[in-house]
Amino acid sequence: MLGKRLQQRGIVHLGLIVGAIVVLIVLVIASFMLGGPQRYFMDSVGPPPEDSEARKAWFSDNFMSMDKKFYVIDEKLPSWEKLDQLNQSLPERSYPTYIKAIQTYNPMPNLVEVLYFGDELKDLGINTQFIHAFHRLDGGKLELNYIDYQTPKRLDKDGAKRAIVHNILLARKLGLAVILFPDYHQLEDGGLSKHNISDDLESRLEAVALNLAEIAEKYNVEFLVPVNQIEMILNSNGYSKEETVKRTNAFYASVVPKIRQVYSGKIIYKLGGFGDWSNYDDISLVGADMFGFTGCYNRRGQDLEFVIQDIKFSAAQADKLSEQYNIPWFNAEFVISDDESPRYTGDMNTPFEAYYEAGLAAFNEYGNNAVGFTIHSLFTTGKVYDTPVMPMIKGFFASK
């Protein structure tokens, strides 16, 4: 009898242990799905040094490994009251004659550029900043996704909106024009099929576009990109050229008139990542005030001649579309990366600055009808800060 009771107790204890383990696993999974700190960061770094020059060196040294770290900055996210006060103190929209832009695909370095590196941007000749509206899938929707400045946690919806408005106003405070654009990296490079949202992709992208249009109007953003390379999202997920063209054109035709009811600035179609440049023959640019082609090159797999020829062909296609639709075009992204993915197997013997030298020279030769050029970026992929590329960029922009 005693042995039977002990056996029963043992079973109960074992059940409690198993139950506790199951609960722990569920909590870990839930935290992962909700975007807890461990989803983003391995450890925290910061705050940066108080001395201005030491702080700049600190960011330069650390940001390249930022994907696995959280960076504390000595700034607090302003309240709506303070943001509205700042907005009211700033001038109306101002459009540069020639766009000299910088683009950074990450909210934190995007913020740091305008917080601490205004003098460097001005010295380079930068007059425009892309503001990165980073989105993640959350409960079936694409939601703004910003991280708190001082603790490794996702901001709630109100905080994320304040964070992007803060970025916009800081750029405008520096006298920069703003290009507001969305990003949703989970949908790119085959990610769309993984999330199984192929049938309602456009409705989700439209919700993002209309939300950003309201922000852009209220805070005097000069340029709005309704969707970031929808043709690339579709194409990288295996859709045919015909289906990609059909859905891309239908999306613009549907969403742009709705944006026009909300937003009075200029609309940019940001294009790139659709195979051969000739594929853009069938993409409609009706509704755009301007369009931009992107140029992304990898030192491991694409030599200098490839960069030169790609700029030549993209510029020719851009000139053709510009004449067809009677709208200007600009280079919306020029980035040199060191991607280590398996598809790139070459060496990196050619110096980084040689790619910039060749690219800028090619753009001077073939892109002389363009109304702007975009570098990428001070710190992250394609980092130019504190490199021999800086004087090249400065000279290039000075000539425009």
Contact between residue 69 and residue 44 where contact means Cβ atoms under 8 Å apart: yes
| Shared-domain flag, residues 9 and 117 | no
**Token pair 């993640």 in the structure block, residue:** 136
Give me the domain span that covers residue 244.
75-398
Neighbours of 368 (CB within 10 A): 9
Query: Mean pLDDT across the stretch 102-106?
Result: 89
Query: Mean pLDDT across the stretch 22-38?
Result: 38
**Per residue in 39-58, pLDDT tens?**
445 567 777 888 989 989 88
| Shared-domain flag, residues 10 and 153 | no
pLDDT band at 27 (very low <50, low <70, confident <90, very high): very low
Does some domain include residue 61? no
**Per residue in 199-250, pLDDT tens?**
899 999 999 999 999 999 999 999 999 999 999 999 999 999 999 999 999 9
Whole-number percent of the chain with pLDDT over 90: 66
Calpha distance 99→192 (Å, rounded): 32
Query: Mean pLDDT across the stretch 135-158?
Result: 90
CATH assignment at residue 250: 3.20.20.80
Calpha distance 392→384 (Å, rounded): 10
Does some domain include residue 43? no
| Shared-domain flag, residues 145 and 25 | no
Q: Give the per-residue pLDDT at 59.
A: 86
Does some domain include residue 239? yes
**Per residue in 177-196, pLDDT tens?**
999 999 998 998 889 998 88
Q: Give the per-residue pLDDT at 71.
A: 76
Across 58-62, 101-105, 289-293, least confident range: 58-62
Contact between residue 221 and residue 132 where contact means Cβ atoms under 8 Å apart: no
Per the structure, the count of domains in the chain is: 2
| Shared-domain flag, residues 150 and 23 | no
Helix, strand, coil % in the chain, rounded to nearest 5: 50, 15, 35
Q: Which of 125, 167, 171, 174 is nearest to 149 (CA)?
A: 167
| Shared-domain flag, residues 86 and 221 | yes
| Shared-domain flag, residues 219 and 291 | yes
Helix (H, G, I), strand (E, B) or coil at 17: helix
Contact between residue 164 and residue 111 where contact means Cβ atoms under 8 Å apart: no
Q: Give the per-residue pLDDT at 45.
A: 74
pLDDT band at 108 (very low <50, low <70, confident <90, very high): confident
Q: Give, to the nearest 10 degrees, the angle between helix 304-325 and helix 352-366.
A: 30
| Shared-domain flag, residues 173 and 310 | yes
Calpha distance 100→355 (Å, rounded): 19
Is it the case that residue 299 has pLDDT exceeding 50? Answer: yes
Length of the chain: 400
| Shared-domain flag, residues 88 and 19 | no
Instruction: Report residue 152 as tokens.
Output: 């490794």
**Token pair 């200029």 in the structure block, residue:** 266
Does some domain include residue 41? no
| Shared-domain flag, residues 252 and 115 | yes
Instruction: Report residue 112 as tokens.
Output: 């740091």
Contact between residue 398 and residue 355 where contact means Cβ atoms under 8 Å apart: no
Does some domain include residue 156? yes
**Per residue in 310-351, pLDDT tens?**
999 999 999 999 999 999 999 999 999 876 555 555 567 788
**Per residue in 249-297, pLDDT tens?**
999 999 999 999 999 999 999 999 898 999 999 999 999 999 999 998 9
Neighbours of 89 (CB within 10 A): 10
| Shared-domain flag, residues 295 and 164 | yes
Does some domain include residue 285? yes
Q: Which of 237, 189, 230 is nearest to 343 (CA)?
A: 189
Query: Mean pLDDT across the stretch 100-118?
Result: 91
* Antiparallel, parallel or unpaired: β 141-144 and 177-183: unpaired
Does some domain include residue 45? no
Does some domain include residue 122? yes
Calpha distance 342→362 (Å, rounded): 28
Whole-number percent of the chain with pLDDT over 70: 85
| Shared-domain flag, residues 315 and 373 | yes
* Antiparallel, parallel or unpaired: β 329-337 and 128-138: unpaired
Q: Give the per-residue pLDDT at 254.
A: 98
Instruction: Report residue 260 as tokens.
Output: 């026009």
Q: Give the per-residue pLDDT at 387.
A: 93
Is it the case that residue 18 has pLDDT exceeding 70? Answer: no
| Shared-domain flag, residues 176 and 27 | no
Q: What is the DSSP letter of 280?
A: G
The one-letter amino acid at 23? V
Q: What is the DSSP letter of 131?
A: E
Helix (H, G, I), strand (E, B) or coil at 248: helix
Which residues make Cβ contacts (< 8 Å) with residue 305, sequence separation at least 6?
Answer: none
